[in-house]
Amino acid sequence: MEILDYEDSLETYLGGLSGKKITIVSAFASGTEPLVDLLIENDNQLDILVGTINSLTAPDFIEHCLNEANPDLALSVDFRYQASVNWKLYLVEPDVVIVGSANLTQVGVSLVRDTCTVITDAALYDAYLARVQALKSIDGVLPCSHSQAFEDALDSYKQSHRRMQAGLARTAEYLDSEGWLGDDTNQSIPLFIWYSDHSQQSEDEARDYLKSSSDGVAWDDVREFFTYDCAEGALPYEEGDVVLTARCNGSHIGFYTFDRILYRSGTYYIYAYRKKRYTQPFKLDGDKELLKEAIPVWYEDGRTEINRADILRVLP
C-alpha cells in the first residue's frame, strides 16, 4: 500500500503509466484534458465515467473527449445529477486500486488538498471493475457519442452547468484569482465585452424603458447600463448574473451585476444598480493590466464567458 500526496501526486503517478488500461470514476471532471491527452499519448487505454452532481463536470471536458474520437478513450457521463456517482476511483490493470478524495480535476489530481491510497490487490480490482460496469448499465448513464440521446442530454446539461456557475459567481467571493482557482468548483465566469460608448439616443431609450418597467428603480439608482443586440431569447446572460465587463480595447474592466434586463426591438437593455457593496468572484486589483491584453482577443472570438484555462493563461 502507498499513500500519495502533493509531493508525489496522483497526476505524477498516472503520468508515469504506459501501456495500461486505466479506469476512472469521478464525481466531476474539469481542466484535466492535458492529463487525458498525455495518458493516451503514453499508449494507455482510458475508460472514464464522470458524474454531474451540482452540474460540476465541465462541458469543455466532455466535449474534449467527444471530439478526441480516439478508440483508446471511452467516456461515459452519469446524467442523473444529484443522484449521480460520487466516487473517486482509479483502477490500473491488472491489480492496482487507487481510492481517496481526489476528483479528476486540476486541483484534485495535484493532491494539494486531497489524498489517495494505492492498493495492489487483484481481487479488489476485479470487484471494483465489475461495479463500474454495473454503473454503466443504469438508466441515465450514457456513453459519450454523437448520438441524438447523448447530444440532447449534453445540451440540457450545459444549461444547468451555466446556471450553476453563474450562481457561484454571484455568491462565492475570493481575495484574488488564485483563491478562485484553488476551488475547483469554480469553472467559468460570464463575460461581456462592449465596443463603444452609448449614444445620447441609446441612453434616453434606456432611461425611458427602465421608467416604464415595473421595477420601480429610478434612473439615478443605475450604476451602469449595457446594450446587447440579438434575437429575443438569445441573450447569453440572465438577471442577477455577476459579469466581468470591459471595453474591447481592454479598458473599463470590472465586475457588474446585471440586475435588470429588458428587451426592445432587437436590443437587450441591461442595468446594473448602485449598491453599498458590489459582489465580485475575486478582487481584480493588479490583474487588470494582464486582462487588458486578453480582452481584445476574447472580443474577436465572440466570447461570452471565460473558464479556468483562460484565467490560468492570463493571470499568474
Tell me the pLDDT of the chain (316 aa) as tens digits. 999 998 899 999 999 999 999 999 999 999 999 999 999 999 999 999 999 999 999 999 999 999 988 999 999 999 999 999 999 999 999 999 999 999 999 999 999 999 999 999 999 999 999 999 999 999 999 999 999 999 999 999 999 999 999 999 888 889 888 899 999 999 999 999 999 888 899 899 999 888 888 677 889 999 999 999 999 999 999 999 999 999 999 999 999 999 999 999 999 999 999 988 888 999 888 788 889 999 999 999 999 999 988 988 887 6
Query: Residues 15, 106, 236, 158: is their CA dihedral positive or negative?
Result: positive
Bin 274: left if φ > 0, else alpha if -120 < ψ < 50, else beta. Answer: beta
CATH number of the CATH domain containing 81: 3.30.870.10
Please check whether residues 64 and 139 belong to one and the same domain.
yes
* Domain end call among 161, 184, 211: 161
Please check whether residues 272 and 296 belong to one and the same domain.
yes
Bin 214: left if φ > 0, else alpha if -120 < ψ < 50, else beta. Answer: alpha
Please check whether residues 144 and 231 belong to one and the same domain.
no
**Domain-located, residue 129:** yes
Please check whether residues 62 and 199 belong to one and the same domain.
no
Please check whether residues 127 and 212 belong to one and the same domain.
no
Please check whether residues 180 and 310 belong to one and the same domain.
yes
Please check whether residues 156 and 191 belong to one and the same domain.
no
**Domain-located, residue 166:** no
Please check whether residues 224 and 304 belong to one and the same domain.
yes
Which amino acid appears at position 293 of this protein?
A: E
User: d(Cα 5, Cα 7) in Å, to the nearest integer?
Assistant: 5
Pairing of strands 88-92, 21-26: antiparallel
* Domain end call among 136, 161, 186: 161
- Are the C-beta atoms of residues 240 and 260 closer than 8 Å to each other? no
**Domain-located, residue 167:** no
* Domain end call among 130, 161, 192: 161
Please check whether residues 45 and 133 belong to one and the same domain.
yes
Decide: pTM greater than 0.85.
yes
For residue 20, give every residue at least 6 positions away whose Cβ sits within 8 Å of its Cβ, in sequence order, or none. Answer: 44, 45, 92, 93
Please check whether residues 206 and 123 belong to one and the same domain.
no
Please check whether residues 57 and 28 belong to one and the same domain.
yes
Please check whether residues 189 and 150 belong to one and the same domain.
no
**Domain-located, residue 135:** yes
**Domain span at residue 145?**
2-161
**Domain-located, residue 168:** no
Per the structure, how many domains does the chain have? Answer: 2
**Domain-located, residue 113:** yes
**Domain-located, residue 89:** yes
